[in-house]
Amino acid sequence: MFAPNPLNLPKPQRRLLRLYSRLNDERKGSLLAFAEFLAQQQEGGNDTDAAASSRQAEIQSPRDIPRPDEESVVAAMRRLTETYPMIERDALLDRATSLMMAHMLQGQPAVEVIDELEELFDQHYQLYLQNFSG
């Protein structure tokens, strides 16, 4: 398989490669997991309004997915996305992304970030309930 020449890549992609190469293995794994999460969010966020409306004909309750004792921030995002499938992802993506970045770039402890993510998802679920009931 042919590998692209890094010199032919657009400037943002070259910058990302340079940054990636400077990271240790643990941070490389976190960056890849985060990129995969963002790609999944983008792919999953392409529902039409009609399809989304038909799925929400009834109030949905959160799924019962317990929080494990040890969990990464990216795994927590996946768990919370599965727990609250009724929440519009775009509505919370900016805040969730900034929380994840605070963990990865600024070293905020994972447990604190996950606590904040759980609060964020719960707040959006409460808004969902309010909007559903009119």
Buried-state track 112-130, b at ≥16 Cβ within 10 A, e below 16: ebbebbbebbeebbeebee
Question: Please, are residues 23 and 64 in contact by the beta-carbon 8 Å criterion?
Answer: no
Residue tagged 């997991």 (tokens):
33
pLDDT at 4: 56
pLDDT tens figures, 29-67 = 777 777 777 776 676 654 434 334 444 457 889 999 999
pLDDT beyond 60 at 24: yes
pLDDT tens figures, 79-109 = 999 999 988 878 788 888 888 888 888 888 9
As given in the structure block, the two tokens for residue 90 are: 């775009």
Each as own residue / partner, the long-range contacts of residues 32-35 (CB below 8 Å, 24 or more positions apart, any chain) are 33/72, 33/74, 34/74, 34/100, 34/104
